[in-house]
Amino acid sequence: MKSFSKKAMLQCVLLLAATILLAAGCAKKPAATTTAVPDTTVSQDMGQDMLQTEGLDEMALGESAIDESAAGYGVATTAVPALQRINFEFDQYTLSAAAQELLVSNAAYMAANPEQRIRIEGYCDERGSDEYNLALGQRRALAAKNFLVSLGIDPLFLSVISYGEELPLDHSGSEEAYALNRRAEFKAER
Amino acid sequence: MRLFALFSLLLLLLAAPAAADIEIRAPGQQTIPLASTKLLAQGMVPAQIVNDFDQTLNDDLLLSGLFSLVAPNSFLSDARKIGLNSSQVDFGQWRLLGAEGVVKGVCRLQNGKLVVEARLFDVTHRRLLTGRRYIGAQSDVRRMAHRFADQILKSLTGEEGPFNSRIAYIGNSSGHKELYLMDVDGRNGVRLTNHRAIVLNPDFSPTGKELLFTSYRAGNPDLYRKEIYSGREARVSARQGLNIAGRFRPDGREIALTLSKDGNSDLHLLGTDGSHHRQLTKHWSIDVDPSWSPAGDKLAFVSDRQGNPQIFILDILSQQVKRLPTAGKYNATPAWSPKGDRIAFSRLEQGRFDIYTVAPDGSDERRLTFGPGNNEHPRWSPDGRFIVYSSSQSGPKAIYIMRADGSGVTRISPAGGDCSHPAWSGRW
């Protein structure tokens, strides 16, 4: 019994040692050596970590070297007073009667300015999961787009983007604020 | 890293019988009284170094919930005596104070490098449990303490601690939502991106040194990856519409994410170069927030296919989708535990999110947070002992850590701005 367990242990150690050698052979960088020897001779080299700290410094420099020009985001757009935003119910993307009326009015502007590219932006209130709200904002923008297309607007001149709950109009967190933030906006692309 | 893991395994096998004397159960149930003495300086060492090591180590040990620390002002003469091996430690003194374990160590400056030697002794059996020597820059002292805390946990429980790892999160203190990185205790914070747009929802690669995230930098929510040390960054997916919630498969070779390129939001599988491997869900519903099972054979995700947002589980091979049977009308942000035994998620109820965990079959649901404010975006520590999450319990959103049972809530992110969407790296 005893000899068996000893043998098993030995095999286990040999197997591990072989794997370690293999792994060491594959490793690109020398790994930190870790040895636990009882009492006086204990050693764990932090060499690798030191390299990493230097890496951190490098990264910080690289960061400030990143272009300073990336100001703003998205395609340049202008708000057009004639293009009115529409609002939605919580966790909904269906168009209310009021929203449909506003879309008809927006479509009239678009029909009168047929060469103008329009970007439809979908937004959510700050409640709910961020990722889910990104998808919900996408749906709201798409619902508005599909309705405009059904009114005869050329889909080639309509693009959609979702900002989820990232850019609320009103940060106060009241029910009124949430209702205001659940919206789709229509911008003229420049 | 792999070598280190194998070594750990080897050491674990050899050390297993010896580690069983101090008994450790679940955190909080019964703590081990531990005396953590300050490092003794050999020669001139700035007091700050000694204090930083002491504070970092003790914070980690307390956060683990496994220890109670013996009051340092009750320490007797042995705390000031260098003890390199068990014969040099006056165990009687420590037994008198009720300590079952004692941490002793020395530090010195050698050719400009900081050398720290730390040891954990078993007071009852008068022997060394573990010892480590660390050599590094003086600024590495906190990292040495984190690594020794991990080592103490390993020698007593058989499983390494999670303290030598990193937490990525989204912060807006620059005026824009950008990607940040910090230590597990919130120190050494650094901003990683300067997109000046909206950066969202990071995820670490399994090897740890790389992050996935979504950014509006180019005007569309596109998926990016960034190497942490080189700073190199690449856009992985810029398909029309959403390219969000990218999650590395545990083998690191593929990425699950939500795309809306065909109009509807579905889950897709990409190569790490952004090439399209296949569509994972095809349903009229919103499908978002994938989280891999540790084996990489299943994905938990959020879908409104039954009306409200709920968590579903997709079997990658059979492509079958099953609802994770939980209560509540709005469940989101699932996170599969590294051992595969639990799924953490957040539930919206009465206008607020709280964090829960549940077994992958939907049984044994446990509520971990009870407000105030929103508690959401749970992610697991690499050892599954802790959950990091974002909370607005004290005003602006901040990053918190708690144990997997909801105890030990500790705020870690620095003050200033909203902090959300934490992601916990693997061991560094």
Q: How far is B405 from chain A (nearest CA, A)?
A: 23
- Residue B16 is predicted with a pLDDT of 42
Which domains occur in chain B, in start order? 2-157 (3.40.50.10070), 166-424 (2.120.10.30)
- Within-domain flag for A116: yes
Residues in chain A within 8 Å Cβ distance of B134 = 44, 46
The answer, yes or no, to whether the previous bond of B396 is cis (omega within 30 of 0) is: no
Stretches in chain A below the pLDDT threshold 50:
1-5, 10, 12-72
Residues in chain A within 8 Å Cβ distance of B147 = 44
Q: Which of A32, A36, A50 sits opposite B130 (nearest CB)?
A: A36
- Within-domain flag for A154: yes
Q: Which residue has the tokens 């535990």?
A: B337
Residues in chain A within 8 Å Cβ distance of B228 = 55, 59
DSSP annotation of B198 reads B
Interface test with B, best of A11, A26, A46, A140 (most B CBs within 10 A): A46
Q: Which of A50, A55, A130 sits opposite B137 (nearest CB)?
A: A50
For residue B407, how many other CB atoms are within 10 A of its CB? 12
- Residue A122 is predicted with a pLDDT of 97
Q: Which residue has the tokens 């050892």?
A: B383
- Residue B273 is predicted with a pLDDT of 95
DSSP annotation of A26 reads H
Q: How many domains does chain A have?
A: 1
Q: Which domain holds residue A108?
A: 77-189
- Residue B10 is predicted with a pLDDT of 46
Over chain B (428 residues), what is each successive 10-residue block's mean pLDDT?
49 43 57 96 95 97 95 93 88 96 95 94 95 94 96 95 96 95 94 95 92 96 95 96 97 97 94 96 96 98 95 96 94 97 96 96 96 94 97 94 96 90 94
- Within-domain flag for A52: no
Contact B308 A45 (CB under 8 A): no
- Within-domain flag for A82: yes
- Residue A8 is predicted with a pLDDT of 52
Judged by a CB distance cut-off of 8 A, whether residue B255 touches chain A is no
Residues in chain A within 8 Å Cβ distance of B177 = 166
Interface test with A, best of B288, B301, B390, B421 (most A CBs within 10 A): B288
Residues in chain A within 8 Å Cβ distance of B85 = 38-40
- Residue B26 is predicted with a pLDDT of 56
Cβ atoms A62, B194 nearer than 8 A: no
- Residue B187 is predicted with a pLDDT of 93
Cβ atoms B393, B372 nearer than 8 A: yes
Rg from Cα positions in chain B? 23
Contact A91 B194 (CB under 8 A): no
Q: How far is B223 from chain A (nearest CA, A)?
A: 13
- Residue A1 is predicted with a pLDDT of 41
Contact A91 B309 (CB under 8 A): yes
- Residue A59 is predicted with a pLDDT of 27
For residue A25, how many other CB atoms are within 10 A of its CB? 7
- Within-domain flag for A110: yes
Judged by a CB distance cut-off of 8 A, whether residue B418 touches chain A is no
| Tokens read off for B70 | 């013996």
From residue B46, alpha-carbon distances to A44, B52, B53, B187, B266 in Å are 22, 10, 12, 20, 56
Judged by a CB distance cut-off of 8 A, whether residue B415 touches chain A is no
- Within-domain flag for A17: no
| Tokens read off for B271 | 């190569």
Residues in chain A within 8 Å Cβ distance of B198 = 73, 163, 166-167
- Within-domain flag for A12: no
- Within-domain flag for A134: yes
Q: Which residue has the tokens 């939605």?
A: A88
Residues in chain A within 8 Å Cβ distance of B6 = 16, 19-20, 23
Q: How far is A81 from chain B (nearest CA, A)?
A: 23
Contact A16 B13 (CB under 8 A): yes
Looking up residue A157, the CATH number of its domain turns out to be 3.30.1330.60
| C-alpha to C-alpha distance for B24 and A132, rounded to whole angstroms | 41
Residues 50-79, chain B, touching A (beta carbon < 8 A): none
